[in-house]
Chain A
Amino acid sequence: MFYIYCPYCGEHREEEEFHPKGQAHIERPKEPEACSDEEWGNYLFFRDNPRGVHHEMWVHAVGCRKFFNMTRHTVSYEILETYKMGEQPSITADSQNPPRETVPVSHPEGVRA
């Protein structure tokens, strides 16, 4: 069970109030008509899907109903931070050293932000 900090509500709430919404920071092409099939397909379907640090969108579905971003490790599931839409992550795969995967997980049930 995740215990998620909603950056808009300013509170930790249980996972069931939220829905994950996939990779964050994907920008819709400014001019879809000008895209090649490949560019448009990449935008719609192709994802990073990393084994490690992942930036993803969540929605506080039964709370404030706002979308926000989360940086989370996809192996330990540890939530590293949550931040508002339009903001940039402060933790990235490159800033994670050594990779989290080798660090023992202290809270196997999913962790506090």
Chain B
Amino acid sequence: MEFFISTLLFGISVGGQYALIAIGYTMVYGILRLINFAHGDVFMVAGLMGIYLTSSLGAYLSPTTILVSLILVLVLTVLLGFLIERVAYKPLRTAPRMSVMISAIGVSYLLQNTATYVTGGQPMTYPAIPFLSDTITVAGTPIKWVVILTPFLVVILVVALTQLINHTKVGMAMRAVAKDFETSQLMGIKINSVISTTFVIGSALAALGSMLYFTTYQAVTPTAGAMPGLKAFVAAVFGGIGSIPGAVIGAFLIGICENFVKVLPFEGATTFVDAFTFALLIIVLVFKPTGLFGEKATDKV
């Protein structure tokens, strides 16, 4: 029972972290029909920035320096996401979708390679964040506060985001642009600024996700964004790509699933956990090809 509770807690928590990444995938897809392969790497860069900023702000990490550097991480990650869109995707707005996708893959490698260059490829350790990194004992298992708090934070952010999308003018514009570029333009909507807004929101959530994720799993390597990014992407597909509630629910399910697969009582469960998780998803997608909340006809990539 104790074992069950701690597995569930870890699953929900990492699921929430995937959710924060998955929202960026699903929103960008919703508006551009683009799988933004660089998104997971933006998440990784946010992690590295967290490390470098905190260490450059002083050897002694007071709560204030940590807070300041986390805010800086947020701002810089948003800027990075914004720039990626402007430089790598916007010039290809009328190009075939494949070209944009290749551009996204290019950006993904650029970020990974830059990270390797900067870190020398060594795993870096994410700083301990006051309170979030402290542990409490739940059901006999020591658990970091971040694990407990992540799902609550995610739920708050998702509710805020849905409010923004469903009840504000900019949210209405986002829904309109996602449906129809040209008619949106006829309404006077500047689609490029709406697209930028989407990248800004996605990157901000990825930055927050990186803080929670790397506080839990402290090693940041140049490929540290690849697996969580892929899981988040799969969560978005699983939930029905383009749908925010779908991505969030998909992410929580994947997180929980993989944590239970990990503790299955046979040899190799830990090693094969990712393959198991993906197999499970494929089975679901066989029966529900558009995902949980997907629309009928989604463009295949």
Q: Tell whether A and B belong to one assembly.
A: no
